[in-house]
């Protein structure tokens, strides 16, 4: 029965992933627009924003008020020398750099489907193939979106840092430049760490702790040892709570008993006086 359920989940995963990665009409354009918009908001300018900064001086030349330009735009027909799947062009230019032999600009080509959509579609297929309530599924999708945005932003930051240091937009030591380059290669070129991040997120977002115990035997032993270690403390807490409840319940009757005892003592005292007087007199209290 378990093997049959596992086979159904695998078939669901293959079906959902195949439907997501099929080149539907307009899908590539929508993904490119979204990724470029995200990069423009965080790191640079879009094409419209850059055009708004352009002005003409007295000599008729086009100038801009920006010192550092980070322009994200779609690939055009004049952008040659890139792979067929490249759909986003990033233009960097440093206007603060004097006109010397050193280059003041750089052009970067990106594949937004490889960067964003393919790894995220893999996670969507995992979530869709996992049997769980819709509330938990919606929560897993939110965590997946957050992870996807973090990966895209980290990839943008690593790639821009490498090329911006080449044109003196930022200052990076050789160590940090090499680290940024390796991070970009891992996230954008290899894309293995991003897939591993989704694989790590999938059980944490889609399963409960009790369900993970049956999947990982070592977790079962660790959780059982932890529960056994926490048992004495739990018993002590329960005993303390029970003692506090009993003391609260007994506090009210004890006060009533004390007041009643005082009244009884007041009524008994005259009888004691009478007996004492009866010893000295012949009549006593009865007469």
> Count of CB atoms within 10 A of residue 111's CB?
21
Q: Strand pairing partners for 3?
A: none
What angle is formed at CA 142 by the lines to CA 136 and CA 147, rounded to 5 degrees? Answer: 125
The pTM assigned to this predicted structure is 0.67
| Segment 66-124, tens digit of pLDDT | 667 788 888 888 888 888 889 999 988 887 776 655 667 888 888 898 889 999 999 99
Compute the distance between CA of residue 223 and CA of residue 213 in angstroms, rounded to an integer.
8
Q: How confident is the model over 244-256, as a mean pLDDT?
A: 68
Give the mean pLDDT of the chain: 76
pLDDT exceeds cutoff 90 at 144: yes
Q: Among 144-153, 174-183, 245-254, which is the least confidently predicted range?
A: 245-254
Q: Is the model more confident about 222 or about 281?
A: 222
Question: Domain locations in the chain?
Answer: 2-207, 216-250
pLDDT band at residue 148, thresholds of 50, 70 and 90?
very high
Task: Give me the pLDDT at residue 272, please.
Answer: 46
Compute the distance between CA of residue 218 and CA of residue 213 in angstroms, rounded to an integer.
8
Select, from the ranges 53-62, 78-87, 243-252, 256-265, the one with the highest average predicted confidence (pLDDT). Answer: 78-87
Compute the distance between CA of residue 44 and CA of residue 54 in angstroms, rounded to an integer.
15
Task: Give me the pLDDT at residue 268, please.
Answer: 47
208 φψ region: left (φ > 0), alpha (ψ -120 to 50), beta (else): beta
- Please classify residue 171 by burial: count the beta carbons closer than 10 Å to its beta carbon, then call 0-12 exposed, 13-18 middle and 19+ buried: exposed
State how far Cα 227 lies from the chain centre: 27
pLDDT exceeds cutoff 90 at 17: yes
pLDDT band at residue 233, thresholds of 50, 70 and 90?
low
N-term to C-term CA, the chain: 99
Task: Give me the pLDDT at residue 241, please.
Answer: 81
- With tokens 């750089």, the residue in question is 106
Task: Give the rounded percent of residues in the chain with a pLDDT score beyond 90.
Answer: 22
Task: Give me the pLDDT at residue 280, please.
Answer: 44
pLDDT band at residue 276, thresholds of 50, 70 and 90?
very low
């Amino acid at each position: 029965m378990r093997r049959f359920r596992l086979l159904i989940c695998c078939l669901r995963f293959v079906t959902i992933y195949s439907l997501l990665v099929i080149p539907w009409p307009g899908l590539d354009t929508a993904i490119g627009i979204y990724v470029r918009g995200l990069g423009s908001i965080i790191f640079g300018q879009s094409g419209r924003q850059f055009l708004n900064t352009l002005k003409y001086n007295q000599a008729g030349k086009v100038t801009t008020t920006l010192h550092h330009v980070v322009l994200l735009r779609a690939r055009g027909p004049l952008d040659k020398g890139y792979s067929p799947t490249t759909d986003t062009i990033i233009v960097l230019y440093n206007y603060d750099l004097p006109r010397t032999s050193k280059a003041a600009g750089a052009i970067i080509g990106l594949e937004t489907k490889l960067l964003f959509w393919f790894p995220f579609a893999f996670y969507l297929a995992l979530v869709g193939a996992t049997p769980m309530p819709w509330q938990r599924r919606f929560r897993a999708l939110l965590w997946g979106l957050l992870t996807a945005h973090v990966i895209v932003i980290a990839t943008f930051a690593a790639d821009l840092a490498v090329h911006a240091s080449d044109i003196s937009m930022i200052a990076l030591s050789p160590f940090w430049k090499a680290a940024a380059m390796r991070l970009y290669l891992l996230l954008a070129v290899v894309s293995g760490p991003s897939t591993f991040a989704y694989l790590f997120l999938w059980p944490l977002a889609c399963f409960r702790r009790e369900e993970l115990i049956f999947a990982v035997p070592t977790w079962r032993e660790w959780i059982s040892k932890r529960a056994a270690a926490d048992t004495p403390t739990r018993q002590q807490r329960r005993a303390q709570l029970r003692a506090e409840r009993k003391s609260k319940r007994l506090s009210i009757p004890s006060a009533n008993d004390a007041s009643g005892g005082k009244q009884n003592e007041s009524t008994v005292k005259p009888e004691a006086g009478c007996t004492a007087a009866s010893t000295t007199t012949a009549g006593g209290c009865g007469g």
